[in-house]
Structure 1
Amino acid sequence: MTESTPAESDATRPAPGGVGSLDTVVLDTPDIVAEADFWKALTGGTVSAEDDDWITVVTPDQWGIAFQLAPDHMAPRWPGQERPQQAHIDLYVPDLATASARAVELGATVLRENEQWITLADPAGHPFDLCLKEDADGITVMGTTFDCPDASALAQFWSGVMGEPVTYDADGVAMIGGSKPMLFQSVEGYNAPQWPDPEHPQQVHLDVEVADLDTGEAAVLALGATRLPGGNSGFRVFADPVGHPFCLVH
């Protein structure tokens, strides 16, 4: 988890253009209904899409969080890299004790507490952080944080994909800005997912919306992505330079 919320820094750099925009943060889970119910209640979101193996919840601040059926889901074991979290969602809350108590009431488990943030696991085992922001308007999404071996390098890749500038880069933490920030934290002994190998599950992936799949594919490959098996006429699957799967969707 990030040790603090990055602020603007002298490391701010312009983005090179962008391939697409963040559509959805997707969590794997063996029970999409229970997982969607938890996040809907926690964030005050609403269901925007639902079928047999997928439910999408949209938060009041317009983040899409989706839940993908994974019957053989192997939950992360935080902390550590034996079965790592790979990524987590950070939420702003005006009062840590109240928000944490509500999350536990809904089915979360407390993993770590301090004065500025509390780390919990949702019902499927995905860690998330409640971060103190006293002027927050209820619970809002701060961003999504990805584990990686080199935060600076991965921030540069995703800056190119999203077309958003790197707004912070120091002390093993980097961040790209925009309306849906992404954060990156360097971790020791990083253990990459090896999708679609169930022994090394992805846990989390991003859906990135693009205007054209062929153009988007060429652009992300040029930035350093790798094409993975899977996909259809509406989406294609890739891995970022350190193995995090993501989809280009159209």
Structure 2
Amino acid sequence: MIIQLLSYAGTALGFLFLTLSIASGLYYLSELVEEHCEPTRRFLNRAIYGIIFILVLLMIFDSFPIKLTIISIVSHLIYQRNLKTFPFISLGNPMFILSCVCVVVNHYFWFQHFNNVEIPPQFKYDPSYIPRKRATFAQVSSFFGICIWFIPFALFVSLSAGDFVLPSANEEQIYSKKSDDETPKLRKKAVGLVRVVINGVREYIHSIVQLFGYQGRKKTGLAV
């Protein structure tokens, strides 16, 4: 009985540590992309063409269904349209919404394709019928990871939410040289979408913890 309880506790802790590790990795990747926006955009653009080339090869040499292949190719071309405003994104942008729909459609149809084990009616009672070879778990997971999920996941990590902030110190020196009547304008700053989500979740958890009386460590600083 005790060993069973230990297994439950170990599973919960393992899941918690795995979740925290993934969140930390995404946070780091988001910061890295913010510093190298243009190389990331070029990499994603080339990756899209590379995946389209892979899909064509799969259709020719592995007899992948033509309709599903065309759907996936069109979906990646739609993903590419999001790179025009990279790294900024508007959640209400029709192209972004259409990209989200394409992710779900691609996943559903390809999952149905690999999960289809039914025998065609005309061969149901034919003893000489040889069913098609099913793909292994490694093959299916590799295909989904590279050809279905990679670009949407990379876009989610790379895209940023526009945030208007006050000018930096160097910019304030430029503004100070102008007339005093002119007020500094706000500039747009790239904030990683993943960072926005993680920070929002962290603040939400912190607010819940505060309801139970835990205030957390207060930041102290020297008065200037």
TM-score (norm: length of structure 1):
0.20
More strand by share: 1
Which is helix-richer, 1 or 2?
2
Give the alignment's TM-score, normalised by structure 2: 0.21
